[in-house]
Amino acid sequence: MEVTRVQELAVGGLHELPAQFIRPAHEQPENSKAIDGIMVPVISLSQPHDMLINEISKACSEWGFFLITDHGISSSLIQGLQEVGQEFFKLPREEKESYANDPSNGKFEGYGTKMTKNLEAKVEWIDYFFHLMSPPSKVSYDIWPKNPSSYRAVTEEYTVEILRVTEELLELLSKGLGLEGKALKSCLGGEEIELEMKINMYPPCPQPQLALGVEPHTDMSALTILVPNDVPGLQVWKDGNWVAVNYLPNALCVHVGDQIEVLGNGKYKSVLHRSLVNKDRTRMSWAVFCVPPHEAMIGPLPEVVDDRNPVKYSTKTFAEYRYRKFNKLPQ
């Protein structure tokens, strides 16, 4: 199946954005600018435990988004992860295409570009590489990039670190709900919890004010932990405004996803977010989605539901949630 990659359009030296990338007027960044003077929460993981629980649960309730520092992942590992991802996108076209995904046939992993199903639908200015990272027993390492040759070693090292940070965050979030530390992790499959990597690549865009890299959405994950490169673009929705996320070297961006919103019966918010693109520079981001296994049943935890806070979400398997979200069906 022939797919035109955004990266190829961009190197072709376009001056005008092709029509399928032009967002409806109200979505265009020039008509929906981020508000000035508001900063997303930045939280150090090295502060005293009780303070940390309070800060994180406040950020999850008010924003569904925050940056973390002092997370213990070395800057050299983050840089290594970024380098192997950049190297992949520099490979010759034919080599990248040998990893092409095919979502319409259920093959979600690999190299991808979203396409329009119909002429009215708009597409995003992005190519990506998506693959499962953990647990090792479920990972198809043969679809990970073989080039650069260090891709696997670096990504496996990052997996160990992100799993540690994910578990720490889930423990803090559990305690913020008044539950014991292991509660959320065990609802999300315990040791079967899955991590997925999506390397997002947004090439320079001839008319960035008319396009979006990723349209407004919430993540269907439990949590998403993302590192960007130094090209800004991520924005989060807060109280009726877009707020730009400033680049903070070595910080990790944490998004509350839909599954945590459901488990906490709405106490924590799944954050609406989008990303903009840049005229001259390539933006990249490495998003790790922490998701339950497909068969896990996810619904509001009985401990957080009472007469004053009745059940707000239905309980269903993650597979069903995913199917409904992909097909834009009500949950």
Contact positions vs ligand AKG (CB under 6 A): 198, 200, 214, 219, 226, 228, 234, 273, 275, 285, 287
Residue nearest ligand AKG (C-beta atom): 285
With CB under 5 A as the contact rule, the residue among 109, 194, 219, 261 that binds Fe ion is: 219
Task: Assess whether 198 carries a catalytic annotation.
Answer: yes
Long-range Cβ contacts of 147-151 (<8 Å, 24+ apart)? 147/87, 147/88, 147/91, 147/95, 148/83, 148/84, 148/87, 148/88, 150/80, 150/84, 151/84, 151/87, 151/88
Residue nearest Fe ion, CB atom distance: 219
Q: How far is the CB of 218 from Fe ion (least distance, A)?
A: 7
Question: Shortest gap between Cβ of 257 and ligand AKG (angstroms)?
Answer: 9
208 neighbors 29 (Cβ within 8 angstroms): yes
Task: Look up residue 56 and give its two tokens.
Answer: 């994180």
d(CA 21, CA 123): 5
CA distance 142 to 122: 33
Q: How far is the CB of 194 from Fe ion (least distance, A)?
A: 16
Separation in Å, CA 121 to CA 9, 79, 299: 19, 36, 32
Q: Which of 198, 294, 316, 325 is catalytic?
A: 198
Site string for Fe ion, 264-303 (x = CB under 5 A): ----------------------------------------
Binding site partner of 84, from ligand AKG, Fe ion, none, Cβ cut-off 5-8 A by kind: none
User: Which string of DSSP letters, residue by residue, matches 56-92?
Assistant: HHHHHHHTSEEEEE--S--HHHHHHHHHHHHHHHHS-
| Cβ atoms of residues 130 and 197 within 8 Å | yes
263 binds, among Fe ion, ligand AKG, none (CB under 5 to 8 A by kind): none
**Nearest CB to ligand AKG, comparing residues 175 and 269:** 269
Question: Considering 217, 230, 279, 312, which one is annotated as catalytic?
Answer: 217
**Residue 185 binding partner per list ligand AKG, Fe ion, none, with a CB distance cut-off of 5 to 8 Å that depends on partner kind:** none
Could you tell me which stretch among 28-36, 39-47, 199-207, 213-221 binds Fe ion (CB under 5 A)? 213-221
Under the binding rule (CB under 5 A), the answer on residue 196 touching Fe ion is no
Q: 241-244 and 234-238 as β-strands: parallel, antiparallel, unpaired? A: antiparallel
| Residue among 229, 267, 239, 273 at smallest CA distance from 254 | 273
Residue 219 annotated as catalytic = yes
Active-site residue, from 71, 96, 185, 219: 219
User: Which of 211/226 has CB closer to ligand AKG?
Assistant: 226
> What does 275 bind: Fe ion, ligand AKG, none (CB cut-off 5 to 8 Å by kind)?
ligand AKG
According to DSSP, residue 97 is labeled: H
State the sign of the Cα–Cα–Cα–Cα dihedral 98, 201, 124, 41: positive
Q: H helices then E strands: how many in the chain?
A: 8, 14
Q: Which amino acid is at 277?
A: V
* Residue 71 binding partner per list ligand AKG, Fe ion, none, with a CB distance cut-off of 5 to 8 Å that depends on partner kind: none
Pick one of Fe ion, ligand AKG, none as the site partner of residue 198 (Cβ within 5 to 8 A by kind): ligand AKG
Site for Fe ion in 242-271 (CB under 5 A): none
Q: Where are the alpha helices (DSSP H) in 98-203?
A: 151-176, 183-187
**Which 3 state secondary structure label does DSSP give 129?**
strand
Interface stretch with Fe ion, choices 100-108, 151-159, 216-224, 276-284 (CB under 5 A): 216-224
Residues lying near Fe ion in the complex (CB under 5 A) are found at 219
The catalytic residues are 198, 217, 219, 273
